[in-house]
């Protein structure tokens, strides 16, 4: 099958590309490199373009006959979306609409969308099920929920879709061919590992007065390679003519911010200083996935998503980057 991966130079997208290539699919990556890196592109064909440019979108879809699209390109920073909501909606809704419209016009059958646990906001219960209420607290979360709804309505145009609601993504390719690589890091584990490597002084604990076991936020972390595998399973499901819909992708286990930092200290054997800071707007106290639907429908097993296993691959990747830069 021929698959277009938008955002295929990014963290999740590059791992999804690797999984597709192993699956035997032909892959074209489309990325504007605003957040991704050319070094992470494993596909033989790369198109440098922006989804906000309709001509560029038409060009790549006209040049190939794609069977499916994995849409991973997005503005992914919730804090940034609060500072500039219009830019977030422009990138995550308008750009995505450009892609979807052209996909429908070109007869692309299957569409996999990178959504987010942010669609839930403050959940009324844990673990969170796919049919629980949606009440996003940030423009980022609302942009993901809006496009999920657009995709659902697009079924009348003949396109089949799955929305994968990522919880907190972590880890790196176990073979260390690719991994997390951002110029301005925002993810907790990567930030803690940067402190361990001496790239920054400390980790900020944003809020220590939440109603959780140690006062810090609780999050569900999932290994990026497990996440990539879910994309393949979702595509296979659509190819078999089975119904799409949303799926939670997490480990089903919650870890507090303090617990994650302690695990980073244990894995690295290095001190990681912390500083207590005020809560960030839009941060729910706890997000933990109910993954039974993905396990049942996609035969999905997040087997790499134990905390120490994720940290082990992330630490090995960061050390590899450190050695390569010397």
Using CA atoms, how far residue 240 sits from 20, 42, 113, 229, 297, in Å, is 17, 27, 18, 17, 12
Contact 151, 111 (CB under 8 A): yes
Q: Is 170 helix (H, G, I), strand (E, B) or coil?
A: strand
Query: By C-alpha distance, which of 264, 276, 273 is closest to 193?
Result: 264
In this structure, what are the phi and psi dihedrals at residue 229, rounded to the nearest 5 degrees? -60, -35
Using CA atoms, how far residue 13 sits from 28, 72, 103, 141, 231, in Å, is 12, 6, 19, 19, 10
Write out 215-277 in H/E/C secondary structure: CCCEEEEEEHHHHHHHHHHHHHHHHCCCCCEEEEECCCCEEEHHHHHHHHHHHHCCCCCEEEE
State the sign of the Cα–Cα–Cα–Cα dihedral 81, 85, 89, 95: negative
Using CA atoms, how far residue 192 sits from 88, 176, 225, 245, 258, in Å, is 27, 19, 20, 35, 11
Distance, in Å, from the CA atom of 100 to the CA atom of 154, rounded to the nearest integer, reads 9
In b/e form, how buried is each residue of 226-253, taking b as 16+ CB within 10 angstroms? bbbbbbbbbbebbeeeeebbbbbbbbbb
Q: Is 110 helix (H, G, I), strand (E, B) or coil?
A: strand
Active-site annotation holder among 11, 89, 120, 140: 140
Distance, in Å, from the CA atom of 83 to the CA atom of 79, rounded to the nearest integer, reads 7
| Tokens of residue 182, six digits | 């951002």
Q: Is 51 helix (H, G, I), strand (E, B) or coil?
A: coil
Q: Is 120 a catalytic residue?
A: no
Residues assigned a catalytic role: 140
């Amino acid at each position: 099958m021929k698959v277009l991966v938008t955002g295929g130079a990014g963290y999740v997208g590059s791992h999804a590309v690797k999984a597709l290539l192993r699956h035997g699919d032909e892959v074209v990556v489309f990325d504007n490199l605003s957040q991704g890196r050319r070094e992470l592109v494993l596909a033989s064909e790369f198109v440098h373009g922006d989804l906000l440019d309709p001509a560029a979108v038409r060009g790549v879809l006209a040049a190939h006959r794609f069977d499916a699209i994995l849409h991973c390109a997005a503005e992914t920073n919730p804090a940034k979306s609060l500072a500039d909501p219009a830019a977030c909606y422009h990138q995550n809704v308008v750009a995505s609409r450009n892609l979807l419209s052209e996909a429908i016009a070109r007869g692309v059958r299957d569409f996999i969308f990178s959504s987010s646990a942010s669609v839930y906001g403050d959940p009324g219960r844990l673990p969170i099920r796919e049919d629980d209420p949606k009440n996003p607290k940030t423009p980022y979360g609302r942009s993901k929920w809006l496009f999920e709804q657009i995709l659902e309505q697009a079924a009348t145009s003949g396109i089949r879709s799955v929305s994968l609601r990522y919880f907190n993504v972590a880890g790196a390719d176990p073979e260390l061919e690719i991994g997390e690589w951002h110029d301005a890091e925002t993810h907790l584990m990567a930030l803690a590992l940067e402190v361990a490597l001496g790239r920054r002084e400390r980790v900020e604990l944003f809020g220590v007065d939440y109603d959780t076991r140690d006062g810090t936020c609780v999050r569900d972390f999932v290994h990026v390679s497990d996440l990539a595998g879910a994309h393949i399973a979702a595509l296979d499901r659509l190819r078999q003519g089975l119904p799409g819909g949303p799926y939670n992708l997490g480990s089903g286990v919650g870890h507090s911010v303090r617990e994650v930092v302690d695990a980073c200290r244990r894995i690295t054997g290095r001190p990681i200083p912390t500083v207590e800071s005020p809560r960030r707007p839009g941060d729910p106290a706890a997000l933990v996935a109910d993954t039974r639907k993905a396990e049942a429908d996609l035969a999905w097993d997040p087997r790499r998503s134990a905390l120490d296993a994720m940290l082990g691959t992330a630490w090995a990747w960061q050390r590899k980057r450190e050695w390569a830069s010397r």
